[in-house]
């Protein structure tokens, strides 16, 4: 009988020398695939599970090389055109042929050993700074076998890990991940069930139930909330967040993440619709006032990170 092949996963970016997503100097691995459809997502290239082609129309010459080499009978492409999900094979032919790198293939398969070899390049930086590796996305728990294998490999190498999750996954996967990592970064989008479901497509109860399951393991948890003006920057949401942090013993920090428009341009380059929800960055004074309320309650709170 053949030995089982180690899992592989689809990764769209490996960011070295990061000072976000956990303590110290980190390497953040962004995995593709997410069960949510948040209109404010700053990594829309991480939502679809499959590799995609991203187009920068400002670099496109309109030379037609991509249309000529495309294996699908899609006909001539307009300057800077984005091929929709239903038509693109993400084979990479146009990406490799483009003379101006206007087309970019987002996402490729990595083996566990290959990825860990890349992560270990910064082992010394992790050790000096108290850093490590963070698995983000997308939603890393959407690729559970690959994620768990990577976490176990990090454990064997003595490298600390963190996992950034939206909390929408089977509870058994959440618990398995919590047992294999040193820190969970837990995203909170909203604490009103109706507004959460409307914006993300996922029930809030799943997020909160899984948070309790992860906390029962005893792993430290940082709550992270994107702050969007007119959506979740109100007093009721802040009070609910404060109460949640106090009621879950494993929560050691809250990070408030002011909304920014980085994801809007990337979504356009992917040909992805963002929905009709109005999005606005909060005033700096508003975010600072929110942080002050949380700190007054004895909760370590950061803005950003």
Residues 69 and 154 in one domain: no
Residues 16 and 155 in one domain: yes
Q: Tell me, yes or no, whether 215 lies in a domain.
A: yes
Residues 94 and 226 in one domain: no
Q: Tell me, yes or no, whether 197 lies in a domain.
A: yes
Using alpha carbons only, give the angle 63, 65, 67 rounded to the nearest 5 degrees: 105
Q: Tell me, yes or no, whether 3 lies in a domain.
A: no
Q: Tell me, yes or no, whether 1 lies in a domain.
A: no
* Rg of the chain over all Cα atoms, to the nearest angstrom: 20
For 219, list phi and psi in degrees, rounded to 5: -75, 140
Residues 135 and 192 in one domain: yes
Residues 145 and 60 in one domain: no
Residues 35 and 99 in one domain: no
Q: Does the N-terminal peptide bond of residue 138 adopt cis geometry, omega within 30 degrees of 0?
A: yes
Domain end marker among 106, 131, 149: 106
Residues 239 and 256 in one domain: yes
What is the separation of C-alpha 283 from the centre of its chain, rounded to a whole number of angstroms?
24
Dihedral sign (CA 201, 203, 207, 210): negative
Using alpha carbons only, give the angle 101, 102, 107 rounded to the nearest 5 degrees: 80
Q: Tell me, yes or no, whether 77 lies in a domain.
A: yes
Q: Tell me, yes or no, whether 275 lies in a domain.
A: yes
- Count of domains for the chain: 2
Domain end marker among 88, 106, 124: 106
Residues 178 and 98 in one domain: no
Domain end marker among 71, 106, 141: 106
CATH number reported for the structural domain that contains residue 294 in this entry: 3.20.20.70
Q: Tell me, yes or no, whether 2 lies in a domain.
A: no
Residues 120 and 99 in one domain: no
The tens digit of pLDDT for each residue in 120-140 reads 999 999 999 999 999 999 999
Please list the pLDDT of the chain residue by residue as tens digits (305 residues). Answer: 555 778 999 999 999 999 999 999 999 999 999 999 999 999 999 999 999 888 888 898 888 888 888 887 655 454 455 555 556 777 888 888 899 999 888 999 999 999 999 999 999 999 999 999 999 999 999 999 999 999 999 999 999 999 999 999 999 999 999 999 999 999 999 999 999 999 999 999 999 999 999 999 999 999 999 999 999 999 999 999 999 999 999 999 999 999 998 888 888 888 887 777 889 999 999 999 999 999 999 999 999 97
C-alpha span between 31 and 14 (Å, rounded): 9
Residues 60 and 189 in one domain: no
CATH number reported for the structural domain that contains residue 77 in this entry: 3.30.70.20
Q: Tell me, yes or no, whether 33 lies in a domain.
A: yes
Q: Give the 3-state secondary structure percentages of the chain, helix then strand then coil, rounded to 5.
A: 35, 20, 40
Residues 100 and 202 in one domain: no
Which pTM was predicted? 0.92
Using alpha carbons only, give the angle 102, 103, 108 rounded to the nearest 5 degrees: 145
Residues 6+ apart with CB under 8 A from 5: none
C-alpha span between 200 and 24 (Å, rounded): 31
| pLDDT at residue 80 in the model | 52
CA distances from 2 to 5, 6, 9, 136, 150 (A): 8, 12, 21, 32, 22
Quick check: 138 and 31 in contact, CB under 8 A?
yes
Using alpha carbons only, give the angle 19, 181, 169 rounded to the nearest 5 degrees: 100
Strands 183-187 and 161-165: parallel
Residues 96 and 21 in one domain: no
| pLDDT at residue 2 in the model | 56
Domain range for 299: 8-48+107-303
Quick check: 90 and 51 in contact, CB under 8 A?
yes
Token digits of residue 301: 């709170």
């Amino acid at each position: 009988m053949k030995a089982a092949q180690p899992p592989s996963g689809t990764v769209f970016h490996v960011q070295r020398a990061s000072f976000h997503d956990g303590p110290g100097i980190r390497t953040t691995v962004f995995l593709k695939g997410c069960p949510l459809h948040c209109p404010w997502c700053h990594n829309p290239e991480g939502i679809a599970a499959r590799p995609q082609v991203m187009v920068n129309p400002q670099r496109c010459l309109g030379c037609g090389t991509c249309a000529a080499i495309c294996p699908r009978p899609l006909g001539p492409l307009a300057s800077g055109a984005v091929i929709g999900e239903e038509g693109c094979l993400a084979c990479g032919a146009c990406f490799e042929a483009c003379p101006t790198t206007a087309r970019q293939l987002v996402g490729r398969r990595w083996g566990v050993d290959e990825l860990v070899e890349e992560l270990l390049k910064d082992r010394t930086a992790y050790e000096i700074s108290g850093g490590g590796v963070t698995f983000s996305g997308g939603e890393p728990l959407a690729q559970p076998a690959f994620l768990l294998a990577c976490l176990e490999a990090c454990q064997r190498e003595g490298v600390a890990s963190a996992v950034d999750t939206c909390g929408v996954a089977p509870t058994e996967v959440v618990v398995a991940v919590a047992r294999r990592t040193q820190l969970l970064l837990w995203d909170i989008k909203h604490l009103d069930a109706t507004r959460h479901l409307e914006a993300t497509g996922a029930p809030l109860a799943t997020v909160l139930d899984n948070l309790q399951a992860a906390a029962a393991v005893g792993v430290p948890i940082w709550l992270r909330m994107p702050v969007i003006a007119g959506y979740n920057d109100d007093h009721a949401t802040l009070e609910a967040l404060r109460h949640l942090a106090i009621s879950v013993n494993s929560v050691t920090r809250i990070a408030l993440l002011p909304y920014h428009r980085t994801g809007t341009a990337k979504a356009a380059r992917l040909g992805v619709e963002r929905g009709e929800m109005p999005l606005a960055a909060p005033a700096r004074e508003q975010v600072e006032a929110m942080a002050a309320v949380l700190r007054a309650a004895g909760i370590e709170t950061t803005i950003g990170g």
